[in-house]
């Protein structure tokens, strides 16, 4: 009997979610929902630096959330699986109901300048 999944599996799953758990990566995934894009396009859309974009893409690729295909000098990226889109959609739906709570989640989060600390 095991009430919770084994530790290793939990770690893997946490890792998977961490792929989504950064606004830079999530921005990339959102962009790819609409279809494949090359790195230059992703850089343009997200406004991130090229190296940062590339670093995050590597993470996403190694974590299995996106797949890449070399096309001449371009690297075309796309979501690796429909379930990636599913997760995004479910999260969006859930979010619309709990957004207020998320805003108030102070312990781990948002850049300082966003919180309007009441003195």
Partner DNA sequence: TTTATGTATCATAATATGATGATATATTAT
Partner DNA sequence: ATAATATATCATCATATTATGATACATAAA
Q: Which partner, DNA, a copy of itself, none, binds residue 78 by CB below 5 to 8 Å per kind?
A: none
CB burial string 26-61: b at 16+ within 10 A, e below:
bbbbebbeeeebbbeebbebbebeeeebeebbebbb
List of residues contacting DNA (CB under 7 A): 18, 21-25, 38-40, 43, 48-52, 54-59, 68, 70, 72-75, 107-109, 111-112
Residue selected from 68, 92, 116, 118 as contacting a copy of itself according to rule CB under 8 A:
92
User: Cβ-count burial of 19 within 10 angstroms (0-12 exposed, 13-18 middle, 19+ buried)?
Assistant: buried
Q: Whole-angstrom distance between the N-terminal and C-terminal Cα of the chain? A: 51
Q: Which partner, DNA, a copy of itself, none, binds residue 51 by CB below 5 to 8 Å per kind?
A: DNA
Gap between the Cα atoms of 43 and 113, Å rounded: 24
Q: Which is nearer to a copy of itself, 73 or 107 (CB)?
A: 107
Q: Which partner, a copy of itself, DNA, none, binds residue 39 by CB below 5 to 8 Å per kind?
A: DNA
Tokens representing 70 are 């070399």
Name the minimum Å distance from CB 62 to DNA: 9
49 binds a copy of itself (CB under 8 A): no
């Amino acid at each position: 009997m095991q009430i919770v999944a084994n530790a290793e599996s939990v770690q893997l799953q946490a890792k998977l979610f961490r792929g989504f758990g950064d606004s830079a990566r999530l921005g990339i995934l959102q962009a790819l929902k609409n279809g494949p894009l090359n790195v230059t396009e992703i850089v343009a859309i997200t406004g991130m630096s090229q190296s940062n974009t590339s670093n995050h893409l590597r993470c996403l690729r190694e974590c299995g959330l996106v797949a890449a295909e070399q096309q001449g000098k371009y690297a075309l990226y796309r979501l690796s699986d429909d379930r990636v889109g599913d997760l995004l959609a479910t999260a969006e739906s859930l979010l619309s109901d709990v957004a207020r709570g998320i805003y108030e989640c102070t312990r781990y989060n948002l850049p300082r300048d966003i919180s309007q600390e009441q003195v």
